Amino acid sequence: MKTLKDYSVSFEKLLKEYQFPGTPSNLYDPLSYFMNLGGKRIRPLLTLMSAELFGGQAEEAYPSALSIEFFHNFSLIHDDIMDKAPLRRNQQTVHAKWNDNIAILSGDVLLVKAYQELQRHNPAHVSKLLTIFNKTAVEVCEGQQMDMDFETRSDVSVHEYIDMIRLKTSVLLGGALQMGAIIANATEVDQKLIYDFGVNLGIAFQIQDDILDLYGDPEKFGKQVGGDIITNKKTYLLLKALEVQKGNEVDDMLLIEDMNLKVKKAQEIIKKLGIFDDAQKLKSHYQQKAMTALSLIDVPGEHKNVLIELSDFLFNREV
Amino acid sequence: MKTLKDYSVSFEKLLKEYQFPGTPSNLYDPLSYFMNLGGKRIRPLLTLMSAELFGGQAEEAYPSALSIEFFHNFSLIHDDIMDKAPLRRNQQTVHAKWNDNIAILSGDVLLVKAYQELQRHNPAHVSKLLTIFNKTAVEVCEGQQMDMDFETRSDVSVHEYIDMIRLKTSVLLGGALQMGAIIANATEVDQKLIYDFGVNLGIAFQIQDDILDLYGDPEKFGKQVGGDIITNKKTYLLLKALEVQKGNEVDDMLLIEDMNLKVKKAQEIIKKLGIFDDAQKLKSHYQQKAMTALSLIDVPGEHKNVLIELSDFLFNREV
């Protein structure tokens, strides 16, 4: 059976062979640059793995894998403008290196390029692929808007937060997997199960991300520990803490001006309120849901190993 | 036979019945607002007319017509950000009424909604529709980038200008028509002819737009006459004038600080250099190419009347 590494090598080769047109260079150079910044390429690997899980060949799923990775990068380019982020993977973002207009337009054309890959599939699959891709793309935009809306709202519930991360980040994992399943002619029941596996895995992963942001090992964590709490970002940990606090201790913590002290205080309070444990439980809950969906898929167990390897890779990281 | 008005009434009804989702309201309210600002809806009407030209029903082409109109409005919303335009059809643009981030993201989701309409077609047509739609969308982005690049270049040729307007504005007319033809199962030869009709019509229309901007009747022209020359916009008239000027008379004109005087001087020089006549001839050349393509289409002549009515409507306006 193929390993995670095997899929990763094939996809990197595919991506390396892909060439954007040469002109207009202000439209396409930013895309060659940005696609080359690297990343784990989790989403397209899921598409390839899913196609093979259901008896197809990874090669048949190459256009959809590229499409998903293009879509993901389109959303990062536009999100970086909206967040005014200067850096991505320690390199300049597109709007910082060029300008906002170029980042808007090259993001737009990258989204179209994502659809252009879809059209390469067998016409018998195109309509179904387009349907799940569109649904996912709309949801990702909705999740991004909810996230932006949360910044200025003071009444965000934990329930809304989970809904936001489901849309903003998790449905794309589910969609990537379902597209592989469609290409391999999986049944609708199996398509639904692999989709659910991806969405629940994504939610669990995002909750882990929130936990690591506050409690990650500073030696291993690539970015500043406590970055979310420093910017008062409404993560699961903070929203839950605001919900269950005794008195105003969480509100008071948010007002601390010394950032090291603020992070230390947040770590203490959130642990004391039992929210560190809650978050671990919630993460396990979604992981469990993902694994249950995977277990119900009607294919030989050993075909599922690489998806379990990928999950382990995602959850055993400390950075 | 149906008239332009008949098609227009049907499409306005279709658009009125279309509902964007209610939430997130910051994502969808800007779209309901912007789609309601009006416009001539030329592009979707072309799709409907083309479907009927080739023996189909306009109703079968409704999803593609909406798709084309959504795409056009997506591009306007993003172009307005890039141009920092405060107004569109005398109303606030999306980025002015909300903000840049909302305009970027609601534009993005409108592009996805354009693709979501395509997926409603008969699966047998989806793949072909997606192919022409994608090709057109990429070209529109390329044209917009070329237009932005021209602003800071001093060596733009007339040839490049025609290529830019072909991509930025004309291929969308061709694409809209070809999509109607695909839906009505037209032959590939006829698809190519109706596409060429649209592209050439679009180029002729843009050249007319350049002429009217400088020589339109101030009484009838909706905006300031000479707007292009005031901002030194590289239109056909200016590029050709720079190419054929004696000495530096055109460069000198561009430096005039009194705007009324500058416009008056530009009108004189460009006419004197024979460029007003050149532009009329070039417009007629593309109109002629359009009409030749239309005449070669293998359907009864009377089916073409409404497309000729639409062309007349576009070219007999003085504003």
- Tens of pLDDT along B265-309? 999 999 999 999 999 999 999 999 999 999 999 999 999 999 999
Measured CA to CA in angstroms, residue B243 lies from A225, B208, B240, B249, B252 at distances of: 61, 20, 5, 11, 14
In a domain, B135, yes or no: yes
Question: Which pLDDT score is estimated for B80?
Answer: 97
CB contacts < 8 A, A to B, total 120
Report pLDDT for B98.
98
How does DSSP classify residue B157? -
Whether B104 is in a domain gets the answer no
Q: What is the pLDDT of residues B119-163, one digit of tens each?
A: 999 999 999 999 999 999 999 999 999 999 999 999 999 999 999
The alpha carbon of residue B97 is apart from the nearest alpha carbon of chain A, in Å, by 16
Q: Kindly report the nearest CA distance between residue A145 and chain B, in angstroms.
A: 6
Establish if B259 belongs to a structural domain. Answer: yes
- Closest Cβ–Cβ partner in A101, A134, A138 for B148: A101
Distance CA B213, CA A275 (A): 65
Cα B313 to Cα B278: distance, rounded to the nearest angstrom: 23
Closest chain A C-alpha to B104 CA, distance in angstroms: 7
Q: How far is CA B56 from CA B48, B62, B122, B195, B303, in A?
A: 9, 12, 13, 17, 12
What's chain A's length in residues?
319
* pLDDT at position B319: 43
* pLDDT reading at A318 higher than 60: no
Q: Is residue B37 part of a domain?
A: no
CATH of the domain at B47: 1.10.600.10
The residues, any chain, with a CB within 8 Å of residue B228's CB and separated by 6 or more, are B210, B213, B214, B235, B237, B238
Q: Which residues pair with B140 in a beta bridge?
A: none
Position A198: which residue type?
G
Domain-located, residue B210 = yes
pLDDT in tens, A8-54: 999 999 999 999 999 999 999 999 999 999 999 999 999 999 999 99
Cα A150 to Cα A48, A145, B24, B108, distances in angstroms: 35, 9, 11, 20
* The two three-digit tokens of residue A285, written as one number: 């809950």
Q: Does B109 map to a domain?
A: no
Q: Decide if B275 is inside a domain.
A: yes
B126: nearest CB among A26, A100, A130: A130
What's the rounded Cα separation, in Å, for the pair B252 and A78? 42
Residue A319's pLDDT is what?
Answer: 43
Q: What is the number of domains present in chain B? A: 1
Burial of residue B36, with CB atoms counted within 10 A of its CB: 0-12 exposed, 13-18 middle, 19 or more buried? exposed
Name the token pair of A150.
């949360």
pLDDT at A221: 67
Under-50 pLDDT residues of chain B: 319
Determine whether the interchain pair B148/A26 forms a contact, defined as Cβ–Cβ distance below 8 Å.
Answer: yes
Q: Is residue B307 situated within a structural domain?
A: yes
The type of residue at B241 is A
Contacts of B133 in chain A (CB under 8 A): 115
Q: Does B73 touch chain A (CB under 8 A)?
A: no
Asked if residues A289 and A196 have their Cβ atoms less than 8 Å apart, the reply is yes
Mutation target vs A (from B110, B115, B120, B148; most A CBs, 10 A cutoff): B115
**Cα(A275)–Cα(B22) distance, rounded to whole angstroms?**
33
Whether the pLDDT of residue A213 is over 80: the answer is yes
